[in-house]
Amino acid sequence: MTKPIRDLSQLLAGMEPVLRDGIYVYATVSDDVSLPWDKVEATVREDEGLSVVVTEAVADSYNLNSQFRSAWITLMVHSDLEAVGLTAAFSKVLGEAGISCNVIAGNYHDHILVPYEKANLALETLKKLQNGLE
């Protein structure tokens, strides 16, 4: 297991953005929907229901009302959950490139969902940031 990194310059240099295969979407599921946990990529409990991130194929097969067709980029650096500035740095350069981003923080990595059609531009932009070119 790696040690979490807090230093912003180390985080940026070690980001190693990786594009996951597939198309991901957000949906809100009610308590009466029987969605197996192994089909769910991420969740957030909200007043309106359980927000889930699933593949587009899962959303279609369970007839979920999905939003935001997206690509999933994982930053492979082991970021400390108390690190300051990483999200601000990558959201700034993505914003400047006209790319919206939605961030999910895991215990080990940051995950960024971007519009599917802008996946390659987002990956290129993040790699430039990593290499100090932004």
If one counts every other C-beta atom within 10 angstroms of the C-beta of residue 134, the result is 17
Residue 77: φ, ψ to 5°: -65, 140
Task: Give the 3-state secondary structure of residue 61.
Answer: helix
Q: Please state the rounded mean pLDDT for residues 46-71.
A: 94
Burial 39-68 (b: 16+ CB within 10 A, else e): ebbeeeeeeeebebbbbbebbeebebebee
Q: Are 74 and 108 in contact (CB under 8 A)?
A: no
How far apart CA 118 and CA 33 sit, in angstroms, is 31
Q: Looking at per-residue confidence, does 32 or 134 come out higher?
A: 32
Per-residue pLDDT tens digits for 2-13: 899 999 999 999
Per-residue pLDDT tens digits for 12-37: 999 999 999 999 999 999 877 789 99
Domains of the chain from N-terminus onward: 8-131 (3.30.2130.10)
| Number of residues assigned to the chain | 134
Q: Please state the rounded mean pLDDT for residues 37-53.
A: 93
